[in-house]
Amino acid sequence: MNEIEVPQLDDVRAALERTRQHLHHTPLVHSRTLSDWLGYQVYLKCENLQKTGSFKPRGGLNRISTLPAELRDRGVITISAGNHAQGVAYAAATLQVPAVIVMPEDAVPSKVEAARSYGAECVLHGDVHAAFEKLRELQESRGLTLVHPFDDPMLVAGHGTVGWEINEDLSRVDAVVCGIGGGGLIAGIATAMRELTPGVRIFGVEPEGAATMSEALAAGAVVRLSDLDTIADGLAPPFVGELNLKIVQSSVEAVVKVSDDAIRRAMRVILERTKMLAEPAGAAALAALLEGQLSIEPGSVVAVILSGGNVDLARLPDLINAPER
* Catalytic residue set: 56, 307
pLDDT tens, 162-199?
A: 999 999 999 999 999 999 999 999 999 999 999 999 99
Which pLDDT score is estimated for 1?
40
Instruction: Kindly give, in sequence order, each residue whose CB lies less than 8 Å from that of residue 15, ignoring residues fewer than 6 positions away.
Output: 58, 62, 154, 157, 158, 160, 161
d(CA 171, CA 67) in angstroms, rounded, equals 35
d(CA 231, CA 309) in angstroms, rounded, equals 14
Domains annotated for the chain, with CATH where assigned, are 9-54+153-320 (3.40.50.1100), 57-146 (3.40.50.1100)
d(CA 283, CA 308) in angstroms, rounded, equals 8
d(CA 1, CA 293) in angstroms, rounded, equals 37
Which pLDDT score is estimated for 286?
98
Low-confidence ranges of the chain (pLDDT < 50): 1
Strands 99-103 and 76-79: parallel
